Every structure is written in structure tokens, then in C-alpha cells.
Amino acid sequence: MNIEDELFFLVSSLMKFPRSEEEDYQITSRISQISPDPAWVEHVFHSPQYMINDQTLDVNAVVSKIMSYKPIQLPDRSNEKIE
């Protein structure tokens, strides 16, 4: 299973009730480990633009947003001489 498929499965699992606290912890911990976007929780729980009919999360859209995150990559200047 690739990361995108796993994220889809995990985010979908977050939307299923009831769950125990242990299940919540396991799911959110795993998402935090594999998500390229450190703000994934904001997209899942606090972004109305990913809601369908104000009640259902558009999991595909959320996973696409999470996977589109690109961290800033600074140039490697470790070999430059400091004057």
C-alpha cells in the first residue's frame, strides 16, 4: 500500500464511529508519521471547504491536499566559507 492509499484508509477510518481512544491514538499517530503535511489535522477537522453537504468529509480532497504539501527546501550551504 502506498502512502496516499494508506492516508485515504486512515482518514476514512477517522470518520467512522464509534472508536475507542486507543484506536484514535493509533490512527492519528500513524497519519502524523506518514503525512508530508504537518497541518493535516486542520484539513481533516477544521476546513469546511472539504465538507460535502456540510456533514460528510471529502476524503479524496483532503488526501490530495495533504499529499500536495511541499516543504521549503533551502540550498545546502554547509560547504560555503564564512567570511
Tens digit of each residue's pLDDT (9 = 90 or more) over 15-69: 998 999 999 999 999 999 999 999 999 999 998 999 998 689 999 999 999 999 9
Retrieve residue 9's grid coordinates: 484508509
- What's the confidence (pLDDT) of residue 31? 98
pTM over 0.75: yes
E strands, the chain, in order = 51-52, 56-57
Cis peptide before 18 (omega within 30 of 0): yes
Query: Which residues are CB-contacts of 25 (< 8 A; sequence separation ≥ 6)?
Result: none
User: Do residues 37 and 3 touch, judged by C-beta distance below 8 A?
Assistant: no
Strand partners, 51: 57
Q: Cell 504537518 identifies what position?
A: 38
